[in-house]
Amino acid sequence: MTEQPRWFREDCDEAGSAFSLQIRGRLHQEQSPYQTIEVFETTHFGNLLVIDDFIQLSARDNFFYHEMMAHPAIYSHANPRRAAIIGGGDCGTLHEVLKHPEIEQVTQIDIDERVTRVCERFFPELCASNDDPRATLLFIDGIRWMEEAPAGALDIIFVDSTDPIGPGEVLFSRDFYAACHAALGEGGIIVQQSESPLLHMDILRPMIEDMRGAGFRDTRTLCFPQPTYPCGLWSATMARKGLPFDGFREEDAAHPPFATQYYTVDTHRGALALPPFVARQLADV
């Protein structure tokens, strides 16, 4: 008698699609004060983090997202020393950011400590830098933290949020971007995960409008693969304070003091190459 395969399935209503991963079982489930956190063991993608029924990351393919959240923004800043991560409780972005020796301090503010504690247990590879002396992990309201941050105190802000529903919704707002703008120094960069350019133009366009409305002069959207997210094509959007973007530190990016799985100078350039179907929809924002 053969055991029937078991599956975790995520429906994507806005695409009329669903994505399923075969699982061996559920390793963890809890209701935190903010959300439902689950971890599954999949057959082919390693451990899988699910929050409120939405896939957050798999051990196998999170490198696309975390490398593309961290490295393009850092190499687009001339002298990135002081960083903040809003959200990012799985610590994967933090881990990538701390690979850069020029980063002197990173404060990560995620409202839900339970996400980090669960990831320390089930995704230790993502949390391997949590004890780095340059890192401070706070479990408080990231918006209030940003509003209270001293003006010009940051070089880069990573907004590593869940989808703009639930706790992540307030991170897609003009008021939040205005607080980020104030907290950044001249030439400072904010980078935010910005959903799928194929499926979520109704989120991406207003997000860019809000960034500009909050005072950011120039934005750049990066496209990259993310197999376990809906449609497999994802994006992050960078905005810069004061100055327009002016390339990135290609010499440094060509010789990173760490190994990567997706990021290179050439994939960085490739991610900036907006396909016409995206560029046309962003032409007037």
x/- letters, 122..161, toward a second copy (CB under 8 A): ----------------------------------------
Show contacts with a second copy in window 8-47 (CB under 8 A): 9, 14-22, 42-45
Show contacts with a second copy in window 207-246 (CB under 8 A): 223, 225-227, 231-233
DSSP for the chain, please give it. -PPPPEEEEEEEGGGTEEEEEEEEEEEEEEE-SS-EEEEEEESSS-EEEEETTEEEEETTTHHHHHHHHHHHHHHTSSS--EEEEEE-TT-HHHHHHTT-TT--EEEEE-S-HHHHHHHHHH-TTTTTTTT-TTEEEE-S-HHHHHHHSPTT-EEEEEEE---SSGGGGGGSSHHHHHHHHHHEEEEEEEEEE---TTT-HHHHHHHHHHHHHTT--EEEEEEEE-TTSGGGEEEEEEEESSS------HHHHHS-SS--SS--HHHHHHHHS--HHHHHHHTT-
Binding residues for a second copy, total number by CB under 8 A: 41
Q: Which of 61, 155, 160, 163 is catalytic?
A: 160
To a second copy, the closest distance from the beta carbon of 217 in angstroms equals: 23
Q: Do 126 and 99 meet the contact criterion of CB atoms below 8 Å apart?
A: no
Q: Which is nearer to a second copy, 170 or 231 (CB)?
A: 231
- Report the interhelical angle of 265-272 vs 62-75 (nearest 10°): 90
Tell whether residue 63 is a contact of a second copy (CB under 8 A): yes
- Candidates 165, 243, 273, 285: give the one binding a second copy (CB under 8 A): 273
To a second copy, the closest distance from the beta carbon of 50 in angstroms equals: 15
Tell whether residue 261 is a contact of a second copy (CB under 8 A): yes
Q: Which is nearer to a second copy, 45 or 177 (CB)?
A: 45
160 is catalytic: yes
Q: Which is nearer to a second copy, 16 or 244 (CB)?
A: 16
- Part in contact with a second copy (CB under 8 A); list of ranges 26-34, 106-114, 183-191, 259-267: 259-267
- Part in contact with a second copy (CB under 8 A); list of ranges 6-14, 49-57, 145-153, 201-209: 6-14
For the annotated catalytic residues, the residue numbers are 160
Chain residues binding a second copy by CB under 8 A are 7, 9, 14-22, 42-45, 61, 63, 198, 223, 225-227, 231-233, 259-264, 266-267, 269-273, 275-277
